[in-house]
A and B are shown apart, each in its own frame.
Chain A
Amino acid sequence: MNKRIFLDPLFKNNPVSVLALGICSALAVTVKMEPALVMALSVTLVTGFSGLILSMLRNTIPDRIRIIVQLVVIASLVILVDQILKAFAYPISKELSVFVGLIITNCIIMGRIEAFALHNKPFHAFVDGIANGLGYGIILVAVSFFRELFGSGTLMGYPLIPEKWYVSAGGFYENNGLFILPPMALIVVGLIVWVFNARNAKKDKKAWNK
């Protein structure tokens, strides 16, 4: 049970690529890998702890006002994350700008609370939240990997393409500027969704033949 709660959201039921949740705030921070990693970590923490807290409160919250209670808990956690980032990683916090605040309206968090945390024990809800945050993080980091590698020729800020290869130094290589622009993020995600779906379909077919 525990293992399935943890592993399913990573690949089989990935929140981004399979369920189309939480893409809102995700893609704008994928130009470089470093902010994407920080964003993934922040979302993981918020999904995990909001699941834990709301699962502990699940028997005391009246059904009719549960959305407001959820928003208050999530918003408080996001304020915590935002203040921590501002204190210890100011440049990245500037780079992420409004997108830290937009974690509040990330559909993954609300979705997991509604679908899972309100009906399960706190520990399971915590594991489910962390796993969904990680599933989101995998997609985010994968997209930013391709965008940074092809768009700026670096990874985590370290140059990967040798200086000599560039046209300006008499070589043959040129960074693909399109990858830095927003539309390319969508196309990369589209291709990742394709890969995920093709793999899942193959697995389903195998299970079917057995």
Chain B
Amino acid sequence: MEQIIDIFVRSVFVENMIFAYFLGMCSYLAVSKTVKTASGLGLAVIFVLLITLPVNYLLDRYVLSPGALARINPEWANVDLGFLSYILFIAVIAAMVQLVEMVVEKFAPALYNNLGIFLPLIAVNCAILGGSLFMQERAYQNIWQVLAFALGSGLGWFLAIVSIAAIREKLSYSNIPAPMRGLGIAFIITGLMGIAFMSFMGIQF
């Protein structure tokens, strides 16, 4: 239990997707002009991470890892499909996003209207594929740890994009040197926020 809380807190604050690994920067910079759209995208990221990470975890554990296929046929004990993980992960993500989009459209039209435009964008969001790859690299032991990691890193991403959107809304009233406006200042503010987030570094359970 402690380990799960530890993974959750670390992935929200210390190993924040944006401030520590720069994952999902493209959409983070492009869709952070207003708080409302930013929180929509943030929610969609949490949602998709929570669905794709467990699926990719099961895929990795029961199909891709070395010797996993021995369960089906003992002769395949030496087969290592690890090199296929990139292509299978991205296929799972693209398929899942499509599926989620259709399900949400059918059963929760109100949610679809809020998330709808962002869902297809998310298939190529680095944070989602990055989540799966980090999960594989860090070798989480069971599905609860994976779920904690998915929820934590999704929340961390949500936090980052909503706070930069809030800052950028205020920023439109400031007097910034012309070449710095837009992209340049967004980078620098993200850097400063990253320095602020580094104060969480010592947290451990």
Contacts and interface: CB of A to CB of B under 8 A. Distances in A.
Is the interface on chain A under 10, 10 to 19, 20 to 34, or 35 or more residues? 35 or more
A193 B186 CA distance: 10
Chain B's interface: helix, strand, loop or mixed, by majority?
Answer: helix
Interface string B115-151: 0000000011111111001100100000000000000
Contacts of B193: 183
A168 B19 CA distance: 32
B130 to A, nearest CB: 6
Nearest to B125: A105
B90 A186 contact: no
B22 A194 contact: no
B65 to A, nearest CB: 16
Nearest to A68: B94
A97 B184 CA distance: 28
A19 B89 CA distance: 28
Given A71-B90, A75-B86, A182-B21, A25 B126 contact: yes
A102 B198 contact: no
A75 B24 contact: no
Contacts of A22: 26
Contacts of B177: 194
Interface string B63-93: 0000000000000000000011111001100
A12 to B, nearest CB: 15
Interface stretch (A76-84, A120-128, A155-163): A76-84
B185 interface: yes
B196 to A, nearest CB: 9
Contact of B29 (A20, A28, A105, A110): A20
Given A21-B26, A182-B22, A190-B191, 10 more contacts: A20-B26, A24-B127, A71-B94, A82-B86, A83-B83, A185-B22, A187-B191, A189-B187, A191-B184, A198-B179
27 contacts: A20-B29, A21-B26, A23-B25, A24-B25, A28-B21, A67-B123, A72-B87, A75-B91, A83-B83, A97-B137, A98-B137, A102-B126, A104-B86, A104-B90, A105-B124, A105-B125, A181-B194, A182-B19, A182-B194, A183-B190, A183-B194, A186-B22, A186-B187, A186-B190, A193-B180, A193-B187, A198-B179
